[in-house]
Amino acid sequence: MRHAPAAGWTSPLDLGPRSAFPSGMGASSRAFLICLGLAALLPACGAYPRDIDGTSERVRAAGIVRVGLIAGPATARDRALIGAYLGRVGRAAGAAPRIVTGGAEPLLAGLEADRLDLVLGEIAADSPWVSDVAVIEPLAERVIERRRIGLSPIARNGENRWIMLLEREARDMKAGG
């Protein structure tokens, strides 16, 4: 015996434009439901969020994290801190750090040009680089002439999965985890 469809709904076989939604539902309600549906599906896409330039996948595939260490007093003073952080990042990413040392400008330019995956060093909170790269919360901080300078991991903008990993490791280390 065939049953009539419930009031307000069209048959799923009806290929009309409103076939999947109640007939009284407006375009806005449908759009809203589509949004919610999409949001629910996003975690099913595997790695979400993804990196725009695929840093996480590339690091894992190559087994190497290309690190630029900004030369300066902090590099010597906080050597243990930097070593511990790079160790954590390497374990989390499944890769070994390959470190180059240099001045802040060439290293940050190298980061932007995808020659490095991570730069570590002191950067001021109001540095002009702050909008061009993703400066992660500092591992250590000092104030010079009322200017906050953090020893921070720095990543390329838009590498959101990779940035999340760097943030997580920085937080865990600060929390003593």
Contact positions toward other proteins, by CB under 8 A? Answer: 26-29, 31-32, 34-36, 38-39, 42, 45, 48-54, 134, 136, 155-160, 163-164, 167-168, 171
Whichever of 41 and 99 has its CB closer to other proteins, that residue is 41
Whichever of 20 and 96 has its CB closer to other proteins, that residue is 20
Nearest distance, CB of residue 141 and other proteins, angstroms: 18
Nearest distance, CB of residue 85 and other proteins, angstroms: 16
Give the max Cα distance, the chain. 84
CA distance 140 to 99: 20
**Cα-Cα-Cα-Cα dihedral of 115, 120, 125, 126, to 10°?**
-30
Whichever of 35 and 62 has its CB closer to other proteins, that residue is 35
Long-range contacts of 142-145 (CB under 8 A, 24+ apart): none
